[in-house]
Amino acid sequence: MTTALIVDDHPIVMEACKQLLSTAGVKEIGEASSPVDAYRAYRTLKPDIIISDLTIRTGILDGISFIRRLRLHDKTTPILVFSMHTDPVIISRTLEVGATGYLWKTTCAEEFVKAFHKVRQGVRYLSHEVASELAFMELRGTANPLSTLTLRELQTLALIADGRSYGLIAEELHVSYKTVANTASQIKVKLGAGSLPELMRIGIAHLPSETGRRNIRVA
Number of H helices, E strands in the chain: 11, 6
Residue ranges, CATH 1.10.10.10, the chain: 145-218
Task: Match domain 145-218 to its CATH number in 3.40.50.1220, 1.10.150.120, 1.10.10.10, 3.40.50.720.
Answer: 1.10.10.10
Give the confidence band of 219 by pLDDT, cuts at 50, 70, 90.
very low
Residue pair 204/189 in contact (Cβ under 8 Å)? The answer is no
CA distance 6 to 49: 9
Task: Say how far residue 105 (Cα) sits from the centre of its chain.
Answer: 11
- Would you state the pLDDT for residue 26? 94
CA distance 117 to 90: 24
Among the ranges given (27-41, 75-89, 199-213), the one the predictor scored with the smallest mean pLDDT: 199-213
Residue ranges, CATH 3.40.50.2300, the chain: 3-139
**Average pLDDT of span 112-122:** 95
Among the ranges given (10-19, 76-85, 127-136, 172-181), the one the predictor scored with the smallest mean pLDDT: 127-136
Give the confidence band of 35 by pLDDT, cuts at 50, 70, 90.
confident
Residue type, 166: Y
Task: Match domain 3-139 to its CATH number in 3.30.450.90, 3.40.50.300, 3.30.1280.10, 3.40.50.2300.
Answer: 3.40.50.2300
**Average pLDDT of span 185-197:** 92
